[in-house]
Structure 1
Amino acid sequence: MATPPPPPKPPGLAAQPEAGPPLPPIPYEVKQRRDPFSPVVVSQGGKGLQVGSVKLVGIIQGRQSPLALVEAPDGIGYILKPSDTLGDGRVTQIGPDSVTFAVPGAPGQKPGSVTLRLRTD
């Protein structure tokens, strides 16, 4: 009894061409730029930036949602949108002259909120 011929290979499973020589690695030159794979704002629990220590310096009315401009004590500025995290808090609301953060409570306490307002001087 003769054996039937093998079924045809489906398209796309044809023999792969042989790989050429490996490509040399491409170095990433930092040149005083930040690491593109590290987060922009790092939350470090109670050790890092505290929401109560930043200053609200402006509100930008964006096309989709407002943006808050805040400045840390070291002079570094951050542009935040709702749901962004800054230090120990998360932006929950941005008003015409304020930004509200949800912050975790101390052990045994409920989470709270911190509202920063624009200075009017």
Structure 2
Amino acid sequence: MGGVLKVDIEGLAAGSSKVAEQSTALAAAHGQSVSAVTGAQSGWVGFSAQALSSLTDHWNALAGKHTAALDHQATSMDTSAKMFSYMEERNSQKLTAVGEQADASTM
């Protein structure tokens, strides 16, 4: 059947935080870039203005998708860490109970 699954719960939780931090950094950097581009927009004319405006809209949509994907990944990693931690605790309690029963029956 399946092999042994070993999970570094603390590492998974820490990784989740790092991914969330990167998502926040991406959103902040993108916001600064959009502000700079928008500030220069008044100097755009004609087809260039339309093309740059469309490109800026595309960048906004793309950055939003990337940020959402990173946020989703961070949340999923955090949820997984919590679930693995819960399973470890539950399994530990079950094994402790079995051990206590075994000790009681040998006395």
TM range (shorter): under 0.3
Q: Which has the larger radius of gyration?
A: 1
With the length of structure 2 as denominator, give the TM-score of the two structures.
Answer: 0.22
Tell me which protein shows more strand as a share of its residues. 1
Query: TM-score if structure 1 supplies the norm length?
Result: 0.20
Structure number with the higher helix fraction is 2
